[in-house]
Amino acid sequence: MSIKIVNLTHIYDKKTPNETVAIDHINLEIETGEFIGLIGHTGSGKSTLIQQMNGLLKPSDGEIIVSGYNITEGLDLPRNQRKRVSKSEVNERKRRLIEVRKRVGLVFQYPEYQLFEETIEKDVAFGPINLGLDETEVKLRVIDAMQTVGMPYEQFKDRSPFELSGGQKRRIAIAGVLAMKPEVLILDEPTAGLDPKGRDEILAQIKALHEKEKLTVIIVSHSMEDMAKIAERLIVMNKGNVVLDGTPKEVFRHIDLLEEIGLAVPQISYLTRALVSQGFEIDPDIITVDEAKDALLNVLLKQKVKND
Ligand code: ADP
Ligand code: MG
């Protein structure tokens, strides 16, 4: 399940004094099984971009092709841009758009605000019930999704989502999307507002899910530190454009550009850079504390052997 974005532009409040170009001619390709961190300063267009990926927002221009199917074609374009299509063609497009929404699961920022049922079980079951699945399948999916987010079904099913802690509420909201078994999971700032423990738990669960199910994951984040630890590819946005796209190591080589657009690289990169400039023989591409620890121990050990 690939997502291809071609020349995508999104303009809010077009032709009004508030006109904002949120996405400016973006081209991107996302392949099955990737784990992507989508990073950028507030207002850089991250949320707008991901809402295009499952057809929630219609672009002003350009195309989004999900699994070879152009989801931007026709349907909601202004009349003068719509090609004449038959009624059956319109229905077919609607059906496929629904199919895409099912396969590309989107967890909004602060998704816990959308919890509303009186029990956790009902909340997690809401999506799968809407998909028209039978009772047994719904229950299996709810059990599975709750397990995945570390909230065992038997223990939590009858409790109210409103008695949970912030981190638990968020995990239940994520379980609600997982229960629909998407092939692509997109999460908008899933760790926003959580304490470090809650943040690490959620990230670890997402990572485990990616590894176990080979799920394609896109996490929107403004934390370079977090994304350095878990993402395999980073897409960095600034003012509606993609400015960097590569592995975390490739991206973090551009410290100056990242700082210019208001993104700090992981603290450890500054340490590595300082050590390298002082002549220490360590890999300049170190981006996590663990890597730095190993490299430094290595240097110290060599020093010690020399001194002995
Ligand atoms: P990010 O998620 O990176 O913070 P957004 O996609 O939310 O960025 O916003 C990109 C730009 O579009 C910003 O300038 C923002 O103010 C504007 N914007 C976002 N949502 C809307 C909206 N519903 N109406 C008008 N402007 C919006
Ligand atoms: Mg946002």
Question: H-type helices in 231-266, by residue range?
Answer: 248-252, 255-260
Contact 221, 233 (CB under 8 A): no
Please tell me the predicted confidence (pLDDT) of residue 82: 58
Ligand 1: does its nearest atom lie under 6 Å from the Cβ of 20?
A: yes
Give the C-alpha separation, 242 to 225, whole Å.
19
CA of 52 to the centre of ligand 1 (A): 13
The pLDDT, as a whole number, for residue 76 is: 53
For residues 23 and 64, the answer to whether their CB atoms sit within 8 Å is: no
Residue 229, CA distances (Å) to 33, 194, 220 in order: 17, 17, 14
Handedness of CA 40, 44, 47, 51 (dihedral sign): negative
pTM of the model: 0.90
The phi, psi pair for 26, rounded to 5°, reads -90, 140
Q: What is the DSSP letter of 81?
A: G
Ligand 1, residue 13: give the atom nearest the CA.
25
pLDDT at 85: 72
Spacing, Cα 23 to ligand 2 middle (Å): 12
Torsion, Cα 252 253 256 260, to 10 degrees, reads: -40
Distances (CA, A) of 201 to 100, 148, 212, 260: 29, 11, 16, 31
Does any ligand 1 atom lie closer than 6 A to the CB of residue 110?
no
How would you list the strands of the sheet with 20-30, edge to edge? Answer: 20-30, 3-12, 61-66, 69-70
CA–CA separation, 124 and 111 (whole Å): 12
C-beta of 45 in contact with ligand 1 (< 6 A): yes
161 CA from centroid of ligand 1 (Å): 29
How many angstroms is it from 77 CA to the middle of ligand 1?
Answer: 20
- Please state, in angstroms and rounded to a whole number, the distance separating the CA atoms of residues 189 and 225: 14
Q: What is the pLDDT of residue 281?
A: 85
Structure tokens at 198: 């809650």
**What is d(CA 189, CA 201) in angstroms, rounded to the nearest whole number?**
14
Contact in structure between 34 and 27 (CB atoms under 8 Å): no
Instruction: Show Cβ contacts of residue 129 under 8 Å, excluding neighbours closer than 6 positions.
Output: 138
Ligand 1 atom having least distance to the Cα of 189: 2
pLDDT along the chain (308 residues), means of 10: 93 95 97 96 95 91 90 62 72 83 92 93 95 95 96 97 92 95 95 90 93 94 88 97 95 91 86 87 85 90 88
Is 9 strand, coil or helix? Answer: strand
> What is residue 231's three-state secondary structure?
coil
Q: Are 160 and 215 in contact (CB under 8 A)?
A: no
